[in-house]
Copies of this chain bind each other. A is one copy, B any other.
């Protein structure tokens, strides 16, 4: 294994599991980070821990962070329903499942851990194709975050610049799945559903389920998702 350490954001979903496999393939010593932020789909946290262990992460941390105190999203406010739509019904508008500033908060904490670990690489599974409605999934946002991060930290100031890797950013869901299958990702262990039950079984109807299901069809692989 390389000496190069990376912090990898692993939510427990299909995208971040693929990113972890890609970071490992590139030889990084991986430190995985998940957040207990009051999300509905808490079974993704178990998936994150399970995947991190199975895929050889050296350490896995879960940071508690009560974003539901702030609300403003169907994922953290139980009073807002999660939309249930087919792929062709999903438009370019920012959906109610958008969590205000979520990626910024997650990347900031990853930045803090990276600084402590003396890691100068962070991996995140943002995707601008299937989630074009989320402002914090776009390449220009990621570039601005990296620029800010390099002014924020001791490491940035003292000359070791931070790189934010977004290997999925321009891929379709089908391309992500093909990539992960090549790297041996066990997608049956991932939880993407926004309203998965306690056992991690998917609803099959939310945007995340619809995009994932279509991804397997387009990639030409059987869908290993366990539905409710």
Taking Cβ atoms with an 8 Å cutoff, the residues of A that contact B are 61, 63-67, 69-72, 94, 98-105, 107-109, 111-113, 115-116, 135-136, 138, 140-141, 144-145, 147-149, 151-154, 156-157
Contacts and interface: CB of A to CB of B under 8 A. Distances in A.
Given A63-B65, A70-B112, 13 more contacts: A63-B66, A65-B65, A70-B109, A99-B112, A100-B115, A104-B111, A105-B112, A135-B152, A135-B153, A144-B148, A144-B152, A145-B148, A147-B147
11 contacts: A63-B65, A65-B65, A70-B112, A100-B113, A100-B154, A101-B152, A104-B111, A105-B109, A105-B112, A107-B108, A135-B156
**6 closest A-B pairs (Cβ-Cβ)?**
A101-B112, A72-B116, A144-B148, A100-B115, A100-B112, A141-B151
A69 B61 contact: yes
A157 B144 CA distance: 14
Contacts of A103: 152
A136 B153 contact: yes
A186 B119 CA distance: 43
Given A70-B109, A147-B147, A148-B148, A153 B101 contact: yes
B135 A141 contact: no
A70 B147 contact: no
A112 B63 CA distance: 17
